[in-house]
């Protein structure tokens, strides 16, 4: 799913293309946005580790993918740094399933 990789570089491209001025970024807030993504991915690992054992993959993976898509699309309407940071956290949170669902095998 190369689409998941595009969200990581898309924020950098948007920052250069004018998001910095639109949202009034200053200092190292771009790096903080990237950190929020990583924090969301790190914090989401423990709950999803337990969810994987109870919810079948054929429900969980499409559900998480839909939630990831919604969180990714909501980033376009961000009006402030705080709102964008919350969306980045959610994108990281919902993207946690991807590496685990590709490597786990259920019999």
Which has more pLDDT, 16 or 29?
29
Render 1-30 in DSSP notation, one character per residue. -HHHHHHHHHHHHHIIIIIHHHHT--TTHH
Task: Identify the pLDDT of residue 83.
Answer: 94
Indicate the domain borders of the chain: 2-103
Please list, in sequence order, all residues whose beta carbon lies within 8 angstroms of the beta carbon of residue 1, skipping any fewer than 6 positions away.
98
For residue range 53-67, list pLDDT tens digits in order: 899 888 988 898 899
Instruction: Using CA atoms of 67, 70, 91, 41 in order, give the dihedral in degrees to the nearest 10.
Output: 0
Model pTM score: 0.81
Note whether 58 and 9 are within 8 A (CB). no
| Tokens representing residue 62 in the block | 């499409």
**Which H or E run includes 42?**
helix 29-54
Task: Identify the pLDDT of residue 100.
Answer: 54
Q: Is the pLDDT of residue 72 over 70?
A: yes
Task: Identify the pLDDT of residue 107.
Answer: 44
Q: Is the pLDDT of residue 50 over 80?
A: yes
For residue range 33-48, list pLDDT tens digits in order: 889 999 998 999 888 8
């Amino acid at each position: 799913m190369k689409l998941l990789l595009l969200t990581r570089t898309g924020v950098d491209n948007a920052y250069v293309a004018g998001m910095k001025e639109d949202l009034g970024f200053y200092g190292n807030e771009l790096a903080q946005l990237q950190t929020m993504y990583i924090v969301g991915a790190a914090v989401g690992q423990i709950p999803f580790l337990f969810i994987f054992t109870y919810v079948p993959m054929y429900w969980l993976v499409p559900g998480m993918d839909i939630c990831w898509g919604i969180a990714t699309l909501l980033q376009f309407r961000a009006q402030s740094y705080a709102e964008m940071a919350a969306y980045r956290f959610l994108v990281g949170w919902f993207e946690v399933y991807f590496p685990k669902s590709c490597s786990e095998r259920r019999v």
